[in-house]
Amino acid sequence: MTLLPSPSLFPTLSPLVMESLDRYTSLLLEWNSRIRLTGYHSKDQIREHLLLEPILSFFFLRSRVPDTFPRIDFGSGNGSPGLILAILDPDHSYILIERTEKKRVFLDYAVRHLSLSNVTILPALDRPLISPLVFMKAITIDDFLSDKHIKSHTTPPCFFVRFGKDSSDACLPLRSYVINGGVSEWGKHITFSLFLLEFSG
């Protein structure tokens, strides 16, 4: 297990990235009226609860994680964090694994409307991966490790970034005003947890 320092991050997003994130937010709200993708019902809520963690984690991890690590969002659901990371990080490919078909339909729609050529959406892992970097929000590490497709296609070690509250000592707060892109609603003092765990078994 690796304990991480807790720096302040002040990432600046380009207008193009800001536009893509805003389009993702609008798509999520539109689809959420038809199928339940999130319990958040406003742009401000989605920005605070679904966008800020992936944005901060991307800027925090980008100089700390080898470029060679395959990137997986396990249990992609509404697209956070996987789609957000793919928008921020067009130079890397992201595999979004989502078992529920109607959620995969939304993810596919979002990928096409956001013109993301670096995203593959799958119901289960179908290819071998060595030392993957795995992002999770609603899914647990135990869920990942017990998945039969994961067991047959991944070679440890696996590296996990788990979003949300966690009681582990490895879970440290990051505080930042975060966004310097002209969206005043994002200028809040946000606190969240980033949990990085290395699994070598």
Residue 8 included in any domain? no
Residue 1 included in any domain? no
Residue 138 included in any domain? yes
Residue 40 included in any domain? yes
Residue 155 included in any domain? yes
49-98 confidence digits (pLDDT tens): 888 888 888 888 888 788 889 999 999 999 999 999 999 999 999 999 99
- Strands of 158-163's sheet in order across: 119-122, 94-97, 71-74, 133-136, 158-163, 190-199, 171-176
End-to-end CA distance of the chain: 12
Give the Cα separation of 73 and 80 in Å (integer): 8
Q: How far is CA 11 from the centre of its chain?
A: 16
Structural domain count of the chain: 1
The secondary structure element, H or E, covering residue 61 is helix 52-61
Per the listing, tokens 């536009």 go with 19
Residue 84 included in any domain? yes
Residue 82 included in any domain? yes
The closest alpha carbon to 65, from 164, 135, 133, 163, belongs to 133
Residue 120 included in any domain? yes
107-154 confidence digits (pLDDT tens): 999 999 999 999 999 999 999 999 899 998 878 778 888 899 998 999
Confidence (pTM): 0.84
Its domain, for residue 139, covers: 15-199
Q: What is the CATH number of the domain that holds 177?
A: 3.40.50.150
